[in-house]
Amino acid sequence: MSIFYYIAVWVLLAFSFGAQEFLPAIEFAHQARVLLPPVLFFCSSLSVSFPVMLIFAFFTGFVWDARHLPYRPDKVKFSDTSEMAMNGHAEKREHSRGNLPPGYSIVLFGALGTVMQGIRPLFKRGRWELPVVMVGVATFVWLLIEYLLMSFLRSRFYFPEGLWTKITTDALLAMLAAPLLLYCLHSIARVLRFEARSEGLTLRFHGS
């Protein structure tokens, strides 16, 4: 029943992009919010095989970039995405030097998804303590690398006052959403009789 579980997770990922548009931002935390598609991807990486994780990384990264990267390279403006823009702190550029290249999110999601694969046995056992923490860590690392890439491409490393507050709050919100998403994935796996195998890029846990 693996194929049905993979299809169900893909449908959830696709739905999460629509749901993201309706999630409110927290104004006092510099517009931080739950970044639902990335968080769901990190959670799903705990249950699917490595090749399927890479497919999900491609899908999530492709749609995320298509939704958030600027459309006109000749007049680049840092979109207020995951957190390239720090709401008012991102500067406008009249050339494409500071524009993040399409596909960068695919690479980041693939790399972080590979890290998440290492604790797949915990998902199988229903132990979510470390996975929840790792979802927060992966979200923090993703946002930080994204901002560093943006700073590198514009040849100026500037860390606005609200940067760390926003990234940290996004990571904490990801950790709050992770248990609900993991429970949803675990329930779908149980209904479809899907078992998260421990082969591939996984760590060995005693008793798993």
The percentage of residues in the chain with a pLDDT greater than 90, rounded to a whole number, is: 45
Question: What does residue 88 show for φ and ψ, rounded to 5 degrees?
Answer: 100, -15
Mean confidence (pLDDT) of the chain: 80
| β partners of residue 76 | 93
Confidence of residue 88 (pLDDT cuts 50, 70, 90): very low
Asked if residues 108 and 151 have their Cβ atoms less than 8 Å apart, the reply is no
Asked if residues 191 and 107 have their Cβ atoms less than 8 Å apart, the reply is no
Per-residue pLDDT at 67 = 87
pLDDT tens for residues 14-32? Answer: 999 999 988 888 876 667 7
Torsion of CA 146, 80, 73, 69, to 10 degrees: 60
Please tell me the pTM assigned to this model. 0.79
Asked if residues 16 and 36 have their Cβ atoms less than 8 Å apart, the reply is yes
Report, as an integer, the average pLDDT of 47-68: 93
d(CA 111, CA 126): 24
Per-residue pLDDT at 137 = 96
Instruction: Indicate whether 184 pLDDT > 50.
Output: yes
Q: Which two tokens stand for residue 30?
A: 């510099």
